[in-house]
Amino acid sequence: MTVKFKINGVEVEAQEGVSVLDTARRYGFEVPSLCHHEAIAAYGACRVCLVEITKGGRSKLTTSCNYEVLPGIEVVTDSPKIRKHRAMVLELILSEAPGAQAVRRMAAEHGVDVSRFVRPADGEHKRDNCILCGLCARVCTEVVGVSALTFNGRGDRRGVGSAFMDQPQSCIACGACAWVCPTDCVGFEEKDGMRKVVRWGRELPMAKDEQGRPVAPTYQLFHFQKVAKLPADFYKKSPGNRS
């Protein structure tokens, strides 16, 4: 069903179930975000995507990535009040990820160059720019279909990785988690015929093509073969004979 409502005074429409954030972007309205990707279910972790929504005469600031469109609502994506709240949220996030370029840039755009909230500097509490947005774990489960990652630890020691904080054994080193991470803190390297996903300490050998060039980790190719139900000899055939 199509839902009609307004964003910044403009009449818009979207399919039921779509988020306000995705709709706003589709109509060209800029809304910042750190923990959102349109291919992955919303989680609402970073709170950077705040907008103001008026429904039934009442207004509230709310995250737009996990707010589904509703008939007749009025959305404002930018105002001094929204920017003030986003600035506070970004200042907090900057204290978690002072080295993350995307966070620094977004914070600077909201007038925040330095965070007043300083996290303990010792190694035990350091998250190395991870903002616990969970995108890496969600892409691994929802898109890759592997579920190698989860939240682990508690309180200040909360982090993301394998359930037992060791090398995630089911990881196929596809690199999707490194690609979606908004703070670039996962890390991905290919060297000497090996691919390494740095943050998880996972290193796997690469399969090679007929010219001896590395293609992808063998585990990743097997995973694709299984998911796509490809014949057992699929990779042995030359590319022109695959069907």
Q: How far is the CB of 46 from ligand SF4 (least distance, A)?
A: 9
Question: Is 48 one of the binding residues for ligand FES (CB under 6 A)?
Answer: yes
Question: Is 33 one of the binding residues for ligand FES (CB under 6 A)?
Answer: yes
Which of these, 23, 63, 62, 20, lies nearest to 43 by C-alpha position? 63
Q: How far is the CB of 41 from ligand FES (least distance, A)?
A: 12
Question: Is 149 one of the binding residues for ligand SF4 (CB under 6 A)?
Answer: yes
Question: Is 103 one of the binding residues for ligand FES (CB under 6 A)?
Answer: no
Q: Which stretch binds ligand SF4 (CB under 6 A): 9-17, 18-26, 145-153, 208-216?
A: 145-153
Distance CA 171, CA 148 (A): 5
For 203, phi then psi, to 5°, come to: -130, 125
Question: Is 206 one of the binding residues for ligand SF4 (CB under 6 A)?
Answer: no
First to last CA, the chain: 38
Instruction: Indicate the SS3 state at residue 11.
Output: strand
Question: Is 106 one of the binding residues for ligand FES (CB under 6 A)?
Answer: no
Question: Is 106 one of the binding residues for ligand SF4 (CB under 6 A)?
Answer: no
Q: How far is the CB of 106 from ligand FES (least distance, A)?
A: 11
Q: Could you say which of ligand SF4, ligand FES, none residue 161 binds, taking C-beta under 5 to 8 angstroms by partner kind?
A: none
Distance CA 159, CA 51 (A): 28
Question: Is 144 one of the binding residues for ligand SF4 (CB under 6 A)?
Answer: yes
Inter-residue long-range contacts of 117-126, CB under 8 Å, 24+ positions, other chains counted: 117/91, 117/92, 119/95, 120/156, 124/156, 124/157, 125/156, 125/157
Question: Is 75 one of the binding residues for ligand SF4 (CB under 6 A)?
Answer: no
- 24 burial (CB, 10 Å; 0-12 / 13-18 / 19+) is buried
Inter-residue long-range contacts of 186-191, CB under 8 Å, 24+ positions, other chains counted: 186/136, 190/214
Tokens at residue 43, please?
A: 């989680």
Q: How far is the CB of 171 from ligand SF4 (least distance, A)?
A: 3
Nearer Cβ to ligand FES, position 45 or 146? 45
Distance CA 35, CA 50 (A): 12
Q: Could you say which of ligand FES, ligand SF4, none residue 173 binds, taking C-beta under 5 to 8 angstroms by partner kind?
A: ligand SF4
| Residues found near ligand SF4 in the complex (CB under 6 A) | 130-136, 139-140, 144, 146, 148-149, 160, 168, 171-177, 181-183, 185-186, 197, 200
